Structure 1
Amino acid sequence: MPISILKADPAKPEGYSHLLKKAKSDLSVATEKVIPILRSVEKEGDKALFEFTKKFDSIELSSLTIDPRSVRTNVPKDIQEAFLTAKKNIETFHKAQLRDSWSVNVDGNKLGVKYTPIPSLAVYAPGGTALYPSSVLMGIIPAKIAGVKEIQLVTPPQKGGLPDILVWLAQILEIDRIVTVGGAQGIAAVAYGTESVPKSEFVVGPGNSYVAAAKSYLAGVGLIGIDSPAGPSEVGILADETANPMWIACDMLSQAEHGEDSSAILMTTSQSLADAVSVELEKAFVERPKRLKMKQHAIYENSCILVFPKMDDCIHFSNLLAPEHLEIQTADPYKVFEGIEHAGSVFLGPYSPVAMGDYISGTNHILPTAGGSRIYSSLGVDTFLKRVTYQEVTKESLNRLYPHVKLMSELEGLDEEHGTSVKVRYEEKKH
């Protein structure tokens, strides 16, 4: 059962427009299930967290938080070196994103923007087989650079104790505490705050559909800020006849191994490349059978190869798809990149697989999914900074502009107080 290859006719987009709908993630069922959990945590605090942990994780906790500085870890030196290298690269890239406050003179008045960090952050780290310690770096480092003061790591408890790598990362990143509560109840704990768990203003990090539903629901009612609504992992690849079909197949499969709901869509102008990639995918299933059913489901059910007449057609569809990850493997990737408007993170050239950004290059891998990059950006220092605008109006400017304020406030029916607050200052010049 090879991957689906479609001749994409831009005059008949209905033949492949279903791929845009497939990218969406419906959290309605998960939301219905998590709302009672959220309400229980809101009302009962720690008591609910202990009960849900016993119910869902089969673990009876004696405490809900851990001071990472109090735990001894044993992380191999080569693993430490890998993560320290990633830490350095991520810090270098994100420090370049820092913004300076600024001011400008407008009509005789000083107006400006002062950037201030959000007060507190919780970073969610999944447990079990979905352990992503790299996401801890991605969530915490830009927040630290932005100046966030209070940071806690939220992760499910493990019967054998927390993984050493998570605790070690918490230590080197100097976070305040680890909250050993997972799932929707862990998100609720930091959104509402409990007797043991301080409230956080913002939460980021990957998780299952229940974690995603809890984040989206709590953000929707204004209890917590989130990076962007999360869905299944995805990659779009723009390629021409110069691309290496085996490398493209590997890159598609690297997304497929995230889960059976992941997707990989190749957009190309070359039928021969499309056929060769299909062959390479089948060879890979034989040669690398780990997580075989998961990868096959993602490739056969959620993925596709589209053969367009022109690269401009590929670019147009890619902007509609707005993929979480976008690889450009063409003879002139920067020329193609000029036409890209919507993507979470872009990987240019043959030596830039998504996995480099996932781990080590320095960009952030917490990205908008399901077409979210049309309105959201990748996680970065900006995510944790607020703009505080300010102004200093001069007496001369107020006197000059008051007649306009008078007319505008009268038009809106707010002249009695809005207009008067300016008028009393305007009249001062008469005394």
Structure 2
Amino acid sequence: MPIPILHCDRNSKEELSRFLSGAREDLSTATNRILPILEGVRNRGDLALFEYTEQFDGIKLSELTIDPKSVKTNVDPKIKEAFLRAKSNIESFHNAQKRESWSQVVDGNRLGVKYTPVPSLAVYAPGGKALYPSSVLMGVIPAKIACVPSIQLITPPQKNGIPEILIWLAQILEIDRIVTVGGAQGIAAAAYGTQSVPKSEFIVGPGNSYVAAAKSFLSGQGLIGIDSPAGPSEVCIIADKDANPKWIACDMLSQAEHGEDSSAILLTTDKTLAEKVKDELEIAFVERPKRLSMKQKAIYENSSIIVFPSMDDCIWFSNELAPEHLEIQTKDNESVFAKIEHAGSVFLGPYSPVAMGDYISGTNHILPTARGSRIYSSLGVDTFLKRVTFQEVTKESLETLYPFVKLMSELEGLDEEHGTSVKVRTIGQK
């Protein structure tokens, strides 16, 4: 069952609609299952965390937190070198996002913005087969640059203990503590706070559907801030006849490797390229059979190659799709990029696979999915900064502007107190 090749234009609404409507993960079932867990943590704190960890992870904990500084690690020096190089690149990119408070004079008054960090952050790191230590770098580094004062790592316990790589990262990133509780109960611990786990105001990081449901529900209750509502991983590739079909197939499969619900969509104007990419995918399934069933399901059921009549049509549909990752592999990448309005992160040219951004180039890989890039941005320093506006009004300006305040407050029926609060400060009033 090879990947489908569709021939579409802007009127092909029926064929294209499934890519626009099926992206967001349905968390309703997961939400119903996690609500008792959240309630249990809120009411019983540490006791509930011990019980749920034994029930869901099969591990009987003696403590819920670890001080990273108290643990000796023996991480392979070559792995250290890779993560330190990534850390340096991520820091360089995010340091450029620093914000400075500012003020200016408007109509005689000093107005401005003061930037303040969120008070605390929890970074979730999955365990087991879904171990993503790179996401710890992505979550913590911009928060450190934003000067978030308190950061804790939430991760499920493993039968052999917390992975050394996570402990070492917690050490070099100066994370305050590791909370050895995963799943919805770990998210609840960060949102509510317990006897052992301090409350966090913000939480970021990938996780399964129960983690995503807990983040979304608790965010909706106003208990925590989150990065953005999450769905399956996705890539969209805009390519022309000069693109390398083998490379494109590899990039599509790198997303399929995340899970069977992932999607990879190629948009092109060239029928020959479409057929070559289709063939390269089948070759790859034979040559690289690891996680074969997962990759095949993602490619055959959630992905597609779409041939459009023009490059402008490819760009139009990419903007409709608003993908998490967008690769542009065309003769004139910059002219295509100039027309892109919605994407989590864009990868320009043949030597910019998504995997570079996932690990080492320096941009953040915590990105909006499920068309979320129409309204959300990638995780960055701004994610952890609040804008506090301020003003200092002069006596002269207050007296000059009072007549306008009087008229506007009367129009809104608020002149008795709003208008009076300005009037009593004018000349002749006490």
Normalised-by-shorter TM-score class: over 0.9
Amino acid corresponding to residue 59 of structure 1 in structure 2: I
Give the TM-score of the pair, scaled to structure 2. 0.99
Q: Which residue of 1 aligns with 2:174?
A: 174
Q: 2: distance between equivalents of 1:143 and 1:350?
A: 32
For residues 271-292 of structure 1, what are the alpha-carbon distances to aligned partners after superposition, in whole Å with 9 as ceiling and x for unaligned?
0000000000000000000000
- Name the residue aligned to 1:213: 213
Q: Give the match for residue 251 of structure 1.
A: 251
Residue 335 of structure 1 aligns with which residue?
Answer: 335
Q: Which residue of 2 aligns with 1:74?
A: 74
- The equivalences for 1:306-317 within 5 A come to 306-317=306-317
Q: Which residue is equivalent to 1:141? A: 141
Matching residue of 2:47: 47
Partner of 2:90: 90
1:367 is aligned to 367
Q: Residue type of the partner of 1:124?
A: Y
SS in 1 for 2:72: coil
Aligned counterparts of 2:216 and 2:262: Cα–Cα separation in 1: 20
Say if 2:423 and 2:429, in contact at 8 Å, map to a contact too.
Answer: no
Q: What displacement does 1:430 show?
A: 5.7
The answer to whether the Cα contact below 8 Å between 1:357 and 1:363 also exists between their aligned partners in 2 is yes
Counterpart Cα distance in 2 of 1:9 and 1:410: 55
- 2:124–2:207: 8 Å Cα contact kept in structure 1? yes
The match for 1:268 is 268
Query: Per-residue deviation at 1:17?
Result: 1.9
Letter in 2 for 1:210: Y
Q: How far off its partner does 1:353 sit?
A: 0.1
Give the equivalent residue in structure 1 for 2:400. Answer: 400
Aligned to 1:35: 35
| Separation of aligned partners in 2, 1:58 and 1:413 | 63
In 1, the alpha carbon distance for the partners of 2:207 and 2:96 equals: 28
Q: For the Cα contact (< 8 Å) 2:24–2:230, is it kept in 1? A: no
2: CA distance, partners of 1:177 / 1:79:
22
Deviation at 1:420, TM superposition (A): 1.3
For structure 2, the residue ranges without an aligned partner over 5 or more in a row are none
CA shift, 1:19, in A, is: 1.0
CA contact (8 A) 1:409 1:418 kept: yes
Cα shift at 1:60: 0.5
Within the alignment, does 1:160 sit opposite 2:163 as a pair?
no
**Distance of 1:12 and 1:62 partners within structure 2:** 59
Moved over 4 A (4+): none
CA distance in structure 1 between the partners assigned to 2:120 and 2:396 by the alignment: 41
Partner of 1:110 in structure 2?
110
Q: The residue matched to 2:425 in structure 1 has which SS?
A: helix
In 2: Cα distance, 1:115 partner to 1:61 partner:
40
Q: Does residue 100 of structure 1 match 2:100?
A: yes
Displacement after TM superposition at 1:410 (Å):
1.9
**C-alpha separation in 2, matches of 1:153 and 1:332:** 43
Q: Give the 3-state SS of the residue equivalent to 1:17 in structure 2.
A: helix
3-state SS of paired residue (2:61): coil
One-letter amino acid of the structure 2 residue matched with residue 138 of structure 1:
M
Which whole-Å CA distance do the structure 2 matches of 1:335 and 1:429 have between them? Answer: 63
Q: CA deviation at 1:15?
A: 2.1
CA apart distance, 1:227 = 0.6
Higher mean C-alpha displacement, 330-339 vs 412-421: 412-421
Take 2:100 and 2:196, find their aligned partners in 1: how far apart are those partners? 36
Between the aligned partners of 2:313 and 2:355, the Cα distance in structure 1 is: 27
Any conservation in 2 of the 1:22–1:302 contact (CA below 8 Å)? no
Task: Report how far residue 415 of structure 1 moved.
Answer: 1.8
The Cα offsets for residues 303-351 of structure 1, whole Å up to 9 and x where unpaired, read as: 0000000000000000010000000000111110001000000000000
SS at match of 2:289: coil
Which letter maps to 1:118? V
Q: Secondary structure at the match of 1:401?
A: helix
Report the alpha carbon displacement of residue 429 of structure 1 after superposing the two structures with TM: 4.3
> C-alpha distance in 1, partners of 2:314/2:24?
20
Instruction: Tell me which amino acid in the other structure corresponds to 1:376.
Output: Y
Q: How far apart are the structure 2 equivalents of 1:144 and 1:328?
A: 32
In structure 1, runs of 5+ residues without a counterpart are none
Residue type at the aligned position of 1:331: K
**Which residue identity lines up with residue 178 of structure 1 in the other structure?**
I
Structure 2 CA distance for partners of 1:214 and 1:430, relative to 1, 3 Å: closer
Name the SS for the 2:424 alignment partner. helix
Question: What are the superposed Cα offsets for residues 149-200 of structure 1, whole Å, 9 maximum, x if unpaired?
Answer: 1000000000100100000000000010000000000000000000000000
Shift of residue 36 of structure 1? Answer: 1.1
**What is the identity percentage for the equivalent residue pairs of Structure 1 and Structure 2?**
77
**For 1:34-76, what per-residue CA distance to the aligned partner results, in whole angstroms no more than 9, with x for missing partners?**
1111111001000110000000000010100000001111100
* 2:409 aligned residue: 409
Amino acid at match of 1:19: F
